[in-house]
Amino acid sequence: MASSLSSILLIIFSLQFIFIPPTFSTSRRILHDHTNLPKTGFRVALKHVDSGKNLTKFERLQRGVNRGNLRLQRLINHMMMAASLSANTSTTSQVTSPVHAGNGEFLMNLAIGTPPETYSAIMDTGSDLIWTQCKPCTKCFNSPTPVFDPKNSSSFSKIPCSNTLCKALPTSDCGSDGCEYLYSYGDYSSTEGVLASETFTFGEVAVPELGFGCGEDNNGDGFNQGGGLVGLGRGPLSLVSQLKQTTFSYCLNSITDDISSENPTSTLVMGSLSSKTSNDSIYTTPLIKNPYHPSFYYLSLIGISVGDVDLPIKKISTFDLNSDGTGGMIIDSGTTITYLEESAFDLVKKEFVSQMKLNVDDSDSTGLDLCFELPADDGSGEMTVEIPKLVFHFDGASLDLPGENYMIGDVKSGLVCLAMGSSSGMSIFGNIQQQNMMVVHDLEKETLSFVPTKCDQL
């Protein structure tokens, strides 16, 4: 019988991952048809927003948790407001304005215009619109890349109000400049400007006539890590939809590794991913649609095991989508840790306390809900701690997480913490739990697959 314990090294993790090498096109080409992507797709390097900063492992984790807590709370507030409005409307079939996540944890480099100008943008699987700051800018935030000037590009053109992309906007107006938009996010930030088309270059592939928001009035503190945002949601405005791709993937390296490295080690793949794998190395579960919040990718979480204990979680009342659009679990690249409905998290927390052979830390110094005190250092610089296995039981796939995907240890602070938290109104499967896995979204089959992968070796 398999052991219910998983060993981790707090300084050097000794866990092994399966490396599935994808095949990519490396020849530079211009796509005259969005359906004419290289058969093996193309890839774009991703960089964590805190990459290259002089931060310890725990400092990076704490910064991500603080951003994630704000993202979660604002999403929940907007979802509850939407549910309340829906309940008070006389038309029960009416779908309220969707919530978009905004911000994010990973940046992608791209180029805009002809000639191409290099920009960095936030990758967000919780929204659809592609946008960047544009001149003339009535209100722009400080960003590490220049504000895009349409006058300097020969391939820029404004999109008319009759265009299907304009009609897909949640809020738009037909003004003298064509299709004018307002796009809001769950954290109360927004971008406002003109919907336009332009040539975007991703890695070695240039895509002409891609619809994007040319933002002349932009509000929000969370966007200043980049010059805009690339939405990868399920709606018609997203990069995935505009490229008419049925598959995209990302592979996120551990955010607590290479804490001083400025080299991007995570990857986004658009299009099909060619790899030879055995069936037991792929974990596939259905994607669920929520008509109230159509951009998000929802998963069906059936249960959770800690060690050899199946937690007594009531699935119907805990993780299922409710008729008003609340509840459920989304998978999100832009949230650092996993958040579970409070009743489920309390069971997880209780079981970890029961099975861990360490004292619980009550100092509340990390911002995480559950931390343990490490035993005294024996002077070797390495320390092995046994932790219970953690398995997420999704519909059709039981994902046995590696130890470093849910327990973060730091010898300097003398703590090891569970990288999870509690929520109320929805659950989120965060990016620490996804690290060192190729997360494959198949929109034709409506499935999501986890493929264990060494992301920093792609």
Amino acid letter, residue 86: S
Measured distance CA(177)–CA(407) in Å, rounded: 52
Can 332 be counted among the known catalytic residues? yes
Q: For Cα atoms 229, 234, 238, give the angle at the middle one, nearest 5 degrees.
A: 35
Can you tell me whether residue 383 is helix, strand or coil? coil
Is 130 within 8 Å of 235 (Cβ atoms)? Answer: no
Q: Which residues pair with 341 in a beta bridge?
A: 423
- Among 128, 187, 332, 410, the one annotated catalytic: 332
Measured distance CA(286)–CA(60) in Å, rounded: 32
Can 124 be counted among the known catalytic residues? yes
Measured distance CA(68)–CA(70) in Å, rounded: 5
Secondary structure of 299-344 as H, E, C letters:
ECEEEEEECCEECCCCHHHHCCECCCCCECEEECCCCCCEEEEHHH
Dmax over Cα atoms in the chain, in whole Å? Answer: 72
Task: Bin 315: left if φ > 0, else alpha if -120 < ψ < 50, else beta.
Answer: alpha
Q: Which of 367, 340, 352, 296 is nearest to 433 (CA)?
A: 340
Strands (E), 16-154: 29-30, 42-48, 106-112, 117-124, 131-133
CA quadruple 349, 351, 356, 360: dihedral sign: positive
Can you tell me whether residue 108 is helix, strand or coil? strand
Catalytic residues: 124, 332
